[in-house]
């Protein structure tokens, strides 16, 4: 029977207290967002804006952001970008990282030098915009996917992971007659689920949160992603809140802001717990070589 000393009990209590406080700092702001999004403006004003438990509930803020079907279109555009974009990102990242992880690749050091160079310098917004325009991707959902097919930093993480896989496995597979694609699908990918899940999460979150490239390349409102829709809602709410008389007769602009944040945040929070174990393990495996 294990017994703890007094110092161990005190340490455990301090750890639990600290972790509880850290959890509260993450949970309370989100509760506040949800609460304000469903609270009438009169209740928000009466409590000086600090409302954690709603006494009255109204869905007018959510009805306001759903008017016109723009929210549905924004969700469709974002889901296409996240789903298709993440798949293409992973495909090209893996296909680039695998050969670069093999020391026998001719010119390997030069390729790596070119890739690292892109992590330090880039062409800028104007050349990027002109390139997207010249290849005919303006106002296309592919303009949000193709220019960023490979993130050099994520590719280097995957490459470091592949370098840890024993080359003897590849050699044994080749002796048995397996080709490069067979080695990739039957050996490398099954062993690389943690790092692929990790990098996939990185790419998916990046696609989900990005709005600036859509601001540059997408003019068609029906193709604009969720984050750009959220930005427009927030700017409109700020403009409304600047006029107290108008705000008093309209939907609470603060509630609209909070409702917009809620509908853009909840989906990613629902997905994260299912891949958290792969995320944690993949970060450790991809960062340590040996």
CB pairs under 8 A, 24+ apart, for 27-33?
28/52, 30/265, 32/258, 33/258, 33/261, 33/262, 33/265
Residues 17 and 127 in one domain: no
Burial class (CB in 10 A: 0-12, 13-18, 19+), 216: middle
Give 250's contacts (C-beta < 8 A, 6+ positions apart).
240
Average pLDDT over residues 165-170: 77
Burial annotation 18-47 (CB, 10 A radius, 16+ → b, else e): eeeeeeeeeeeeeeebbbbbbbbbebbeee
* pLDDT at position 248: 41
Q: Which of 181, 116, 188, 193 is nearest to 155 (CA)?
A: 116
Same domain, 25 and 94: no
Specify whether 207 is located in the same domain as 223: yes
Q: Give the confidence band of 2 by pLDDT, cuts at 50, 70, 90.
A: low
Residue 280 has pLDDT above 70, yes or no: no
pLDDT for residue 83: 92
Residue 142 confidence class, pLDDT cut points 50, 70, 90: very high
- Res 268 pLDDT > 80: no
Torsion sign over Cα 166, 168, 170, 173 = negative
Domain shared by 45 and 121, yes or no: no
Dig out the tokens for 148 from the structure: 């960023």
Which residue has tokens 């992971």? 161
Q: Is 164 buried (19+), middle (13-18) or exposed (0-12) by CB count in 10 A?
A: middle
Regarding whether 36 and 150 lie in a shared domain, the answer is no
pLDDT at 242 over 50: no
Cα distances from 286 to residues 33, 112, 271, 278, in angstroms, run: 35, 17, 22, 11
Instruction: Indicate if the alpha-carbon torsion angle 107, 110, 112, 118 is positive or negative.
Output: negative
Band of the pLDDT at 290, cuts 50, 70, 90? very low
115 and 222 inside one domain: yes
Residues 242 and 263 in one domain: yes
Give mean pLDDT, residues 159-188: 80
Chain segment 174-223, per-residue pLDDT in tens: 787 777 788 888 888 888 888 888 888 889 888 988 888 888 898 888 88
32 and 74 co-located in one domain: no
Is residue 160 within 8 Å of residue 112, measured between CB atoms? no
97 and 54 in a common domain: no
User: H-helix or E-strand containing 273?
Assistant: helix 253-287
Quickly state the pLDDT bin for 249 (edges 50, 70, 90).
Answer: very low
- Predicted TM-score (pTM) of the model is 0.76
Q: Are 100 and 192 in a shared domain?
A: yes
* pLDDT tops 50 at residue 247: no
pLDDT tens-digit series, residues 30-84 = 888 888 778 777 766 666 667 777 777 778 788 778 776 788 888 889 999 999 9
pLDDT band at 88 (very low <50, low <70, confident <90, very high): very high
Total structural domains within the chain: 2
Q: Which two tokens stand for residue 37?
A: 């999004």
Range of the domain at 206: 60-287
Cα gap 70→45, rounded to integer Å = 29
Domain co-membership, 167 together with 223: yes
For residue 283, is pLDDT > 60? no
């Amino acid at each position: 029977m294990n017994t703890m000393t007094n110092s161990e009990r005190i340490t455990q209590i301090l750890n639990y207290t600290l972790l509880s406080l850290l959890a509260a700092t993450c949970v309370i702001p989100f509760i506040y967002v949800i609460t304000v999004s469903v609270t009438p403006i009169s209740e928000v004003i009466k409590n000086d804006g600090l409302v954690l438990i709603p006494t009255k509930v109204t869905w007018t803020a959510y009805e306001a952001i759903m008017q016109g079907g723009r929210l549905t279109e924004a969700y469709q555009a974002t889901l296409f970008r996240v789903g298709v974009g993440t798949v293409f990102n992973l495909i090209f990242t893996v296909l680039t990282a695998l050969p670069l992880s093999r020391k026998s690749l001719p010119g390997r050091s030069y390729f790596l030098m070119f890739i690292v160079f892109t992590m330090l310098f880039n062409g800028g917004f104007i050349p990027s915009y002109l390139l997207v325009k010249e290849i005919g991707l303006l106002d296309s959902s592919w303009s949000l996917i193709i220019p960023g097919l490979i993130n050099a930093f994520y590719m280097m993480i995957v490459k470091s992971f592949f370098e840890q896989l024993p080359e003897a496995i590849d050699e044994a597979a080749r002796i048995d007659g397996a080709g490069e694609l067979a080695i990739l699908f039957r050996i490398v990918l099954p062993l690389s689920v943690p790092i692929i899940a990790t990098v996939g999460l990185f790419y998916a979150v990046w696609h989900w949160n990005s709005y600036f490239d859509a601001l540059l390349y997408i003019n068609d409102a029906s193709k604009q992603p969720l984050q750009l829709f959220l930005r427009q809602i927030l700017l409109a709410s700020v403009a409304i809140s600047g006029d107290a008389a108008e705000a008093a007769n309209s939907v609470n602009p603060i509630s609209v802001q909070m409702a917009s944040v809620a509908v853009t945040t909840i989906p990613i929070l629902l997905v994260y717990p299912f891949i958290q174990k792969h995320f944690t393990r993949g970060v450790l495996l991809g960062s340590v070589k040996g």
